[in-house]
Amino acid sequence: MTYFVLKYLHVVGAMVLLGTGTGIAFFMLMAHRSRDAAFVARTASVVVLADMVFTASAVIAQPVTGYLLVRELGLPLSEAWIAGSLLLYGVAGLAWLPVVWIQMRLRDLARASAASGADLPADYHRLFRWWLVLGLPGFGSVMLIIWLMIAKPTW
């Protein structure tokens, strides 16, 4: 019974990470494409909140439930697919942390532009490019982790 509860929580956490990340990326991209500073500011505000509530919760829950699952099954952390997942989790985390800061900065820059009636500044566009670049390894790592969780390949 414990195993199935842990597995359920772990799978839900993976869905939250992937789903929230995908949704955030879609809504931020659509807001950015509008070039409407007020729309970008509102969207980025919701995105930052979603990252703090959903992504951060899943980021904490995943290693906890993963470790408890590994312990429940008696598997070593050195098992190839587990070690690979942990490495990719680190990559995703290293990409996600600056992305959260960038999202807050994008929100603030868009708010200032909307308040003054100005176009989004060059700093906004530079940071948005970094947001996209860092999002790729973050999202890709989560996709690979999910594949490893399902396939459990032996190398």
C-alpha separations of 104 from 16, 31, 98, 134 in Å:
21, 15, 10, 15
Mean pLDDT for the chain overall: 96
Share of the chain above pLDDT 70, in %: 100
Judged by DSSP in three states, 119 sits in: coil
Burial 22-42 (b: 16+ CB within 10 A, else e): eebbeebeebbeeebbebbbb
pLDDT of residue 48: 97
Could you state, in order of their start, the residue ranges of all structural domains in the chain? 2-151
Q: What is the pLDDT of residue 129?
A: 98
Does the reported pTM lie above 0.95?
Answer: no
Stronger pLDDT, 155 or 123, i.e. the higher one: 123
pLDDT of residue 155: 81
User: pLDDT per residue over 19-40, tens digit each?
Assistant: 999 999 999 999 999 999 999 9
Tokens of 132: 């996209």
**pLDDT score of 99:** 96
pLDDT surpasses 90 at 1: no
What is the per-residue pLDDT across 64-118, written as a single tens digit (0 to 9) for each? 999 999 999 999 999 999 999 999 999 999 999 999 999 999 999 999 999 999 9
> Which residues are within 8 A (CB) of 69 and not within 5 positions of it... i.e. 6 or more apart?
3, 6, 7, 10
What one-character-per-residue DSSP string does 23-37 give?
A: HHHHHHHHHHHHT-H
Q: What is the mean pLDDT of residues 50-70?
A: 95
